[in-house]
Amino acid sequence: MPGGRLSLADRQQIAAGLADGLGFAEIARLLGRPTSTITREVSRNGGARDYRAGRAHQATKGRSVRKPVAPRQAAASTTSQGVLDFQRELAEIAVQTGLSPMAARVLACLYTTDSGSLTAGELVAQLRVSPASVSKAIGDLERQELVRRERDPKLRRDRYVIDGDVWYQAWLASAQMNAVLAEAVQRGAEVLGTQTPAGARLHSASQFLSHVGRDMVRAAEKWRKLFPQNSG
C-alpha cells in the first residue's frame, strides 16, 4: 500500500523499472509512492546499477530485526539518526540535480563530516557499499570538480576532500562546459549554414549558451568578492 513498507513485488517492479531506464519519479508514479521513497530505497541498496530486488528485501528484513537500543544509548542514537536522515535528504536533492544516487550519497557523507575528508575505506564503512561503488562515485564527483583527492602520508592512501568553495568551483566548471558546448554548436550552425532552419536553430542555441555562461562566471566572481571569507 502507498505509505506502507515496500513489498518484494514492489522491489521487483523497481528493479524492472531501473532495467528499463526509468527515472525514480516514473517508477514512483507506477507504484503510487513518493519519489523520495524510491530514491532512498535504491540509494541504500547498491544504487541504480547494483540494485537487486531480492537482496534489497533481505537487507530490509535484517535491519528490521536489529536489537533494541539500550536506554543509555537513546540520546546518541537519536543524534546519529538525525544526521543519517539529513544525509538521505541531501542525497535525494542532489540526485534531482543530476548526480547518480551513489555519487549523491558520497557527497552528502563528505558534507556532514567535520573534517570534510574521508578515505575510500571510511566511505565504504559508513555507506555500507562495495569499494567499486565508492570508486565509481568518486570518479563522477571528481569529473564535476565536486571533490578532490589528497595523499595522506600517514595512512599511505588517498583522502577525498570537499572544500568550502566546492560549489564555486563546480559552478565555474559548468560555465566552462557551457562555453565549450556553445562553440561546438556554433560550428554546427556554420556547417549547416545559418540561413537554413537547422543552422539558425543551432546559432540561436549557441548564443543562448554563450550568454548564460558569461553570466554564470560574472555571478560567481561577484559572490567571491562579496563573501571572500567563504572561499577556500
Measured CA to CA, the distance from residue 135 to residue 37 in angstroms comes to 25
Which strand ranges, in their side-by-side order, compose the sheet holding 157-161? 117-119, 157-161, 148-152
* Residue 230, pLDDT score: 61
Q: Dig out the grid coordinates for 75 from the structure.
A: 540520546
Strand partners, 159: 119, 150
- Single-letter residue type at 214: R
Q: Considering the entire predicted model, what is its pTM?
A: 0.52
pLDDT band at 202 (very low <50, low <70, confident <90, very high): very high
Count other Cβ atoms within 10 Å, centred on residue 192: 16
149-184 confidence digits (pLDDT tens) = 888 777 778 899 987 777 787 788 788 888 889 999
Distances (CA, A) of 30 to 18, 34, 52, 71: 12, 10, 18, 41
- The DSSP code for 195 is T
19-62 confidence digits (pLDDT tens) = 888 888 888 888 888 887 888 788 778 777 788 888 888 887 76
